[in-house]
């Protein structure tokens, strides 16, 4: 809760400082128009102030978006839900069959991972004509990290292929799954490295799942009681449908 209060205070302070700067810039322009008789100098001041404001708007917008996305993760952690019973994840071969039945296609299989993907029209906001990309990555036991450079390359390949077919993707859901025989602190910390980014250009959600084989539990950082977006809720529901 303290983290939430801290990020809220920081957000409010940033917003107030932005409003103060805008008011100060407006005051400079008004004073210049009243007291400076040389129009060339006045217009030069106007131009300089407007250029500075454009830069500040972009900077503050990025800062506020970053703080907002950070607050999403903090609130998810504060409202974390319990691990889920596994139905299919205990056996990756069975998981492969489940994903195929749900319309996923396999793109990559190598020593480190297997990647499946599914492209569909936006079913959350049906008026949106753009597409959603859903990616499921099965991380092989010998691989230490959830985040692999080759996965980024695979996703980029899918995006380029779909772009060539005039499919604009602005919603992306990535589920990364790894089996664990021991759920130690290192494993728990790696599972917590989730992403939820919402901006005017799209949404990206990344959730890591640790399959604890001895307890038959799927461990992940998620929340049933807090949702930053309907798309986050959609991602969680899809995960529950195949674990």
Share of the chain above pLDDT 90, in %: 58
Q: Measure the CA–CA gap between 80 and 220, rounded to whole angstroms.
A: 9
**Rounded Cα–Cα distance for residues 236 and 233 (Å):** 5
Taking the C-alpha atoms of residue 196 and residue 205, their distance in angstroms, rounded to an integer, is: 4
* Cα 168 to Cα 160: distance, rounded to the nearest angstrom: 10
Inform me whether the pLDDT recorded for 79 exceeds 90.
yes
CA distances (Å), 109 to each of 103, 114, 187, in order?
A: 17, 4, 23
- Quote the CA–CA distance of 13 and 60 in Å, as a whole number: 12
pLDDT at position 1 over 70: no
pLDDT band at residue 151, thresholds of 50, 70 and 90?
A: very high
> Would you state the pLDDT for residue 171?
94
Structure tokens at 33: 């128009």
Task: Name the pTM for this structure.
Answer: 0.83
């Amino acid at each position: 809760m303290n983290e939430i209060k801290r990020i809220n205070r920081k957000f409010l302070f940033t917003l107030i400082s932005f409003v103060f700067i805008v008011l100060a810039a407006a005051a400079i322009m008004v004073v210049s128009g009243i007291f400076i008789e040389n129009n060339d100098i006045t217009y030069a001041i106007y131009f300089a102030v407007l250029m500075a404001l454009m830069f500040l708007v972009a900077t503050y917008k990025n800062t506020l978006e970053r703080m907002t996305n950070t607050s999403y993760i903090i609130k998810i952690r504060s409202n974390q839900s319990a691990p889920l019973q596994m139905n299919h994840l205990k056996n990756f071969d069975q998981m492969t069959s489940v994903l195929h039945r749900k319309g996923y296609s396999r793109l990559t299989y190598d020593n480190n991972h297997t990647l499946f993907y599914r492209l569909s029209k936006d079913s959350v906001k049906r008026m949106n004509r753009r597409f959603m990309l859903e990616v499921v990555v099965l991380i092989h036991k010998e691989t230490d990290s959830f985040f692999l450079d080759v996965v980024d390359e695979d996703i980029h390949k899918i995006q380029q292929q779909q772009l060539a077919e005039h499919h604009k993707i602005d919603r992306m859901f990535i589920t990364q799954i790894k089996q664990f025989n021991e759920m130690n602190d290192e494993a728990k910390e790696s599972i917590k490295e989730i992403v939820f980014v919402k901006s005017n250009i799209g949404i990206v959600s990344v959730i890591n799942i640790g399959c604890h084989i001895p307890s038959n539990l799927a461990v992940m950082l998620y929340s049933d009681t807090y949702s930053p977006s309907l798309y986050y809720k959609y991602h969680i529901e899809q995960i529950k449908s195949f674990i």
